[in-house]
Amino acid sequence: MSTATRRWLTSAATRTVLWLVIAFILVPLVWMVSTSLKPAGYAQTIPPTWIFKPTFEHYVGVFKGEAATPFGPLLLHSAIVAISATAIAVALGLLAAYALARIPFRGKKFLAMWILSTIMFPPVVAVIPVFILAGRWGLMDTYPALIIPYVAFNLPIIIWTLRSSIRQIPEEIEEAALMDGLSRMGIIVRMVVPLAAPGIATAAILSMLLCWNEFLFAVSLTRSQVKTAPVGINEFTGMFGTQWGAMTAAATVIVAPVLLMALMLRRHLIEGLTLGAVK
Amino acid sequence: MRGSPREPPHLSSERQTLARFVQILSLDTTKFDFYDDNLLRGEARRRGTGGPPSDDAIKGVPAMGYRDDRLVAILADGARRQLSRRGLLRTAAATAVAVPALAGMKGRRAAAAPARQDAAKPTSIKMLYATVEADVEAIKLMIPDFKAATGIDIELDSQPYDALQQRAFAELASESPFYDVMICDTPWTPALTGKLEPLSTYLTNPALNDIADLALEDFIPKVFYDTAVYNASAPNLQFPAQEAVDLAAIAAEGFDVFGLPLQSNALTLAYRKDLFENPAEMEAFKTQYGRDLAAPDTWDQFLEVAKFFTRPDQRLYGTTLMAGNGDWATDDFKTLLAAWGGNGYMIGDEFTIDFNGPEGIAALTYYADLINTHKVTPPGVTSFSWDTASSTFASGLTAMSMNYHSEVLNPGVEGEIAYALVPQQVTRGPHFGTWMLSVNKFGENKEWAYRTAAWFTSAASQIKMLQTQLHPSRASVYEAAKTDPGALAFGNFYEVLGQSLAVGVGRPRLTNYGAVDKEIWVAVNQAASGSKTPEEALAEAAEKVTALLKQEGYPVG
Amino acid sequence: MARLSPAGTTAGGVGTVRGSRGAVPVGRAAIGPAGGADAQARAANRTAWLLVAPAVAVLLAMTIFPAGYLLYASFRSFNLMNPDAGRFVGLQNYQNIASNADIRQSLLITLLFVVLAVGIEVVLGLGLAVILAKQSRENSIAATILILPMAVTPVVSALVWRELFNPNYGWVDYYLQKFGLIDVPIDWLGSSTTAWITLISLDVWQWTPFVALILMAGIQGVPREPKEAAAVDGAEGWRLFWDIVLPLLRPFLAIAVLLRVLEAFKTFGTIKVLTGGGPGISTEIVNLTIYRTALQDFSVGAAAALGISFLVFLSIAVPQLLKVLARNTDLVEG
């Protein structure tokens, strides 16, 4: 076999594999969206129904609260928690990342390692004291009970991402600013933020993603006032079975915003994921 | 099976008494009034002494589920001698300084509770309730009527099961006065008897039974005793079965009433009436088995019927089973265990392990055989739970199903459903569990909370609640259901439910039932999936449950 | 085009000495207020610690503090219903754990899950990255689609999976039968092997893209010169890949593996929803046990002991991993 043929065959094989993989990735999502559009009663047919008249009744029902609590407020809670936690985490993380990136100080390496190591702290372990304390201090089912833990979960990644972003900014600019009498904080606010904006965007996206999808703390610490969407999705399974149409509609609604965001900002996402190995 | 009171093994008598002190100190004086005197009186009566109990008599009285505490040891000597009420108060006052310092002040506990319950009418009552499991629609249906009758709004907080349990426990653990009325499921009550208001005085007080007809004798006795009657100082004890609800007997045994039952669930058998009454099917069955096709009365008959209806190529199977990982598997098993003549409570009053004897093994073997040997169940049954069993039956995949509520077939499935009692072997003992409305001991409107509970559980209310398919707890309501059009829409469900409740078997009253439950359902699941033999699975579970009981402080028999 | 930077140079090109504790700028004015070197260093220290303080505070509150509380609680036996009635029981909780074979098994299961899932993800991710590395429109679309699973809420994906693998109604069994690959529907969640397959496949579906995208960025960042030089030498295909690309991918592999391993240990929602620890206890990871003990049985002492044990286990296992992976990469240098 000539090299050309071999190369063509390899290429064809890899292409096939690739598209098989793509299919594998898409199948669950296709199932989810298609079930949400099927009229009631078609969700569990055998053989699976591919031709059907799509309906939006499930989406309407989900927001009206027919099968479970109305989904609109849940999405709002999720949004509030995610945005607040992200804002706070990015702010705190930026300060810390700056210090870690620019300032030589005693204990820096230890601190960096420790911050990194907090990623491994299992949330299920942290949730127990938080659950007990939140109950005792009357913070159960309130926003702070979720926001503060989420900030803590996101900080390590945010700090790591921002640190590498900041390191990419030439130091001479800052030096010049310092000579001109700008304070550290001034530098951070006026110069680092605009220059590291892409990195900040990345960090924010990663954080939003994590907050939006978080389940354990949400299910343990919320009841009705701040119940978030991932908790609500479980409620479509009652004693009589699962309301598949409503559940998949709700699932699509949860997943859609984040999907869109991830798609639009995918370059940032990828950059963020490489986290400092790429300079 | 009653004997001497259970003494938590690690508490000496001084500590027990002192433990009670500490508890009393944190309570409203009016509450301790009832608690202590009645308890002591009841105890003394039982021991046959007339007047104020002697030190010896007190010695045996177990503490109210309170564990050892360092400070109890410190206060050992002085208070033990003073057991009259005044003496208690005096000592309490004296130790009032030391106790908070050592036990830690609980901020949320109302430091200045009113001296006597204020009987003023509140504008609203806060109720914590479940969702579909306890038919919250029934409550919602009656709220306007309640407002019309009393002028009080009900602020209803409805939570799904896990969140509900966490909420209930967390609120009661922190002794929060937030909820006035709280729904309580039977597995939780053993741990909660100290936090729910005992209702004997309320039940006998005519002034408090003004808006609803209490009619205690109307409650189904087994349901009432299993759900609401506990001995606060020995919560694991089951009240010996009685013919009727008898408050005097309850008090005499040292028990009390901790709520009023509302939604009563029992395992019933649902079957496809259209299949069973189909002439072709009936003929085929008669030919094959030599008897008429009918809802099975014994488990042997059940097997035959299930085999008859198992036709995988036609996408039809005999029955569903709930063998998945979860409480439902334990409930399936204990039903069979009782049917085979074993102890449906699985744990004896003396904390013996009663589920791995010959009856248990026979029952679990039968169960596992249904799945693995005779294959009369659809695939996936080892991950089934209440909802999957229900939806599978609703989709027409099985001819029979056992569950805790009435079923409805999916729109595309043509058929009719009828119900029957769960089959028997040597006897019957379907699992049952009932939700009750309890009064929060730390609430601020307890008298009206009681009235609310009594009103919602009254016969009149329950009859109206049939509209939302409530599972009633009163015999008269089952009578009414016989002619209620809404109830009749479900065929003979209510009849069967009423009959099942009369012979049902509840859960053992363990404070760590959750952990014990898990070991048993794991055993059932392993036997059902064939990864262990029933003997092995049950033996292992017995070991683990013994360890769990010991860890919880029970004197394992 | 992003450039790889193995330990040594900053973007600015100014050399720094990577010493034992932080970088000491060499050959340029030290950044900081005027003053003696010592005063400068101290001022820098103070500023730095001020800047990191809020973040550190939050992190402490959610890591060290819970760990401390749990340590305290693990020596006591108390139930949430009577939190002040807890009594000191010394090492009782730990003894219960040590003598409980189920818990030992669940630690093993957790470890097995992490190793299997991450291992498969790395292999598949690498393959995908290689295929997708070449810039082309087709690949660009594929890469975009690849992002989707990562954005899906894990609980949602678990629910979807459970239904797809439903033996009576799911697409998997239906199409497997239709294409003649199996005769009877497989009860996926009914036996431990198939349940594991379901679980691992879910994790692989959700996170292989993560690995693939990281590695893709790495491959695309490989400088052209070595590749071209090697090609001139006659190397191509496998050898090109193995000898040139792979070594340069090491830091990316390290990051991908590290992050995935850490996240895999934290898996909770997907397993709870998909198998609930079943069948039996064959997929009961430690997180599930801790959750159930603490928030369903309310035995805080026992859960605390288990939590501490798990933490200790992680603190030993993960830094080892870090050391192995972070060799030659400056993941935390600086």
pLDDT of residue A275: 53
List of chain B residues whose C-beta atoms are within 8 Å of the C-beta of residue A237:
387
Name the β-bridge partners of B269: B402, B420
Closest Cβ opposite residue B411 in set A41, A138, A140: A41
Q: Does residue A45 sit within a domain?
A: no
Give dist(CA B101, CA A39) in Å, integer.
Answer: 64
Give dist(CA A118, CA C329) in Å, integer.
Answer: 20
Number of other CB atoms surrounding residue A24 within 10 Å: 14
Chains that touch B (3 or more CB pairs under 8 A): A, C
- pLDDT tens, B105-130? 333 343 344 434 446 889 999 999 99
> Could you tell me which residue, B342 or B61, shows the higher pLDDT?
B342
Instruction: Name, in order, each residue with C-beta under 8 angstroms of B235's C-beta and a sequence gap of 6 or more.
Output: B65, B189, B190, B191, B193, B509, B511
Phi, psi values for residue C21, rounded to 5°: -125, 95
pLDDT of residue A272: 64
HSE (side-chain half, CA atoms, 13 Å) at B276? 22
List of chain B residues whose C-beta atoms are within 8 Å of the C-beta of residue C100:
547
- pLDDT tens, C251-287? 888 888 888 998 999 999 899 989 988 788 899 999 9
State yes or no: pLDDT of B47 exceeds 70. no
Q: How confident is the model at residue B541 (pLDDT cuts 50, 70, 90)?
A: very high
Ordered DSSP codes for chain A: --HHHHHHHHHHHHHHHHHHHHHHHHHHHHHHHHHHHSPTT-TT-SSPP-S-----HHHHHHHHTSSSS-HHHHHHHHHHHHHHHHHHHHHHHHHHHHHHHH---TTHHHHHHHHHHGGGS-HHHHHHHHHHHHHHTT-TTSHHHHHHHHHHHHHHHHHHHHHHHHHTS-HHHHHHHHHTT--HHHHIIIIIHHHTHHHHHHHHHHHHHHHHH--HHHHHH-SSSS--HHHHGGGGEETTEE-HHHHHHHHHHHHHHHHHHHHHTHHHHHHHHHTTSB-
Whether residues B67 and C96 touch (CB distance < 8 A) is answered with no
List of chain B residues whose C-beta atoms are within 8 Å of the C-beta of residue A135:
170, 173-174
- Average pLDDT of span B177-202: 92
Give dist(CA C294, CA C306) in Å, integer.
Answer: 10
With a pLDDT cut of 90, the percent of chain C lying above it is 23
Q: What angle do CA B500, B502, B505 make, to 5 degrees?
A: 80
Q: What is the DSSP code (8-state) at residue B314?
A: G
Q: Does residue A19 sit within a domain?
A: no
Q: Does residue A36 sit within a domain?
A: no
Asked if residue A64 lies in contact with residue A70, where contact means CB atoms within 8 angstroms, the answer is yes
> Could you tell me which residue, C128 or B439, shows the higher pLDDT?
B439
The answer to whether residue A194 neighbours chain B at the CB level (below 8 Å) is: no
The answer to whether residue A109 neighbours chain C at the CB level (below 8 Å) is: yes
The residue of chain B nearest to residue C192, with distances taken between CA atoms, is: B531
Q: Does residue A35 sit within a domain?
A: no
Q: Does residue A153 sit within a domain?
A: yes
| A220-239 residues touching B, CB cutoff 8 A | 220, 223-224, 234-235, 237-239
Q: How confident is the model at residue B449 (pLDDT cuts 50, 70, 90)?
A: very high
State how far residue A80 is from chain B, nearest Cα, in angstroms: 21
pLDDT of residue B10: 41
CA dihedral for B20, B22, B27, B33, sign (positive or negative): positive
Whether residues B390 and A240 touch (CB distance < 8 A) is answered with yes
C interface with B, Cβ–Cβ < 8 A, is: 77-88, 96, 99-100, 102, 166-169, 184-192, 275-282, 292-293, 295-299, 302
Q: Does residue A223 sit within a domain?
A: yes
Q: Does residue A173 sit within a domain?
A: yes
pLDDT of residue C34: 54
State how far residue C284 is from chain B, nearest Cα, in angstroms: 11
Distances (CA, A) of B263 to B133, B209, B369: 9, 21, 33
Chains that touch A (3 or more CB pairs under 8 A): B, C
The closest alpha carbon to B189, from B288, B258, B267, belongs to: B258
State how far residue C191 is from chain A, nearest Cα, in angstroms: 23
Q: How confident is the model at residue A182 (pLDDT cuts 50, 70, 90)?
A: confident
Whether residues A140 and B410 touch (CB distance < 8 A) is answered with no
Mean pLDDT is lowest, of C32-36, C275-279, C290-294, for C32-36
Q: How many CB pairs under 8 A join B and C?
A: 113
| A234-253 residues touching C, CB cutoff 8 A | 234, 244, 247-248, 251
ipTM of the complex: 0.85
Chains that touch C (3 or more CB pairs under 8 A): A, B
Give dist(CA A5, CA A11) in Å, integer.
Answer: 10
Whichever domain contains A134, its CATH number is 1.10.3720.10
State yes or no: pLDDT of B245 exceeds 80. yes
- Average pLDDT of span C125-154: 84
Tell me what the pLDDT averaged over chain A comes to: 84
Tell me what the pLDDT averaged over chain C comes to: 79
Containing domain of residue A262, as a range? 61-274
The most confident of the ranges A177-191, B226-240, C319-333 is: B226-240
Domain ranges of chain C: 101-326
Candidates 1.10.10.1100, 2.40.110.10, 3.40.50.720, 1.10.3720.10; CATH matching C101-326: 1.10.3720.10
Ordered DSSP codes for B258-295: --EEEEEEE-EEEEEHHHHT-HHHHHHHHHHHSS----
- Average pLDDT of span B145-160: 90
> Could you tell me which residue, C12 or B280, shows the higher pLDDT?
B280
Give dist(CA C20, CA A247) in Å, integer.
Answer: 55
Distances (CA, A) of B522 to A75, A206, B527: 36, 39, 9
State yes or no: pLDDT of B80 exceeds 60. no
Structural domains of chain B, with CATH? 13-103 (no CATH), 124-265+432-496 (3.40.190.10), 268-430+510-552 (3.40.190.10)
pLDDT of residue B451: 94
Ordered DSSP codes for B430-497: -BEEEEEEEEBTT-S-HHHHHHHHHHHTSHHHHHHHGGGT----BHHHHHHHTT-HHHHTTTTHHHHH
Alpha-carbon dihedral B27, B29, B35, B39, rounded to 10 degrees? 130
The closest alpha carbon to C148, from A27, B218, B99, belongs to: A27
Whether residues A138 and B404 touch (CB distance < 8 A) is answered with no
Whether residues C278 and B162 touch (CB distance < 8 A) is answered with no
Tell me what the pLDDT averaged over chain B comes to: 80
- pLDDT tens, C206-215? 999 989 988 8
pLDDT of residue C76: 84
The answer to whether residue C334 neighbours chain A at the CB level (below 8 Å) is: yes
The closest alpha carbon to A91, from A217, A211, A215, A192, belongs to: A192
Q: Which residue bears the tokens 């999502």?
A: A29
> Could you tell me which residue, A240 or A31, shows the higher pLDDT?
A31
State how far residue C106 is from chain A, nearest Cα, in angstroms: 15
Q: How confident is the model at residue B497 (pLDDT cuts 50, 70, 90)?
A: very high
pLDDT of residue A201: 85
In chain A, how many domains are there? 1
List of chain B residues whose C-beta atoms are within 8 Å of the C-beta of residue C275:
325, 383
State how far residue B337 is from chain A, nearest Cα, in angstroms: 24
| A120-179 residues touching B, CB cutoff 8 A | 131, 135-136, 138, 140
Closest Cβ opposite residue B394 in set A136, A223, A241: A241
The answer to whether residue C22 neighbours chain A at the CB level (below 8 Å) is: yes
Closest Cβ opposite residue B397 in set C85, C99, C168: C168
Q: How confident is the model at residue C13 (pLDDT cuts 50, 70, 90)?
A: very low
pLDDT of residue C8: 36
Whether residues B515 and C297 touch (CB distance < 8 A) is answered with yes
Closest Cβ opposite residue B412 in set A41, A135, A138: A41
Phi, psi values for residue A211, rounded to 5°: -65, -40
List of chain B residues whose C-beta atoms are within 8 Å of the C-beta of residue C164:
none
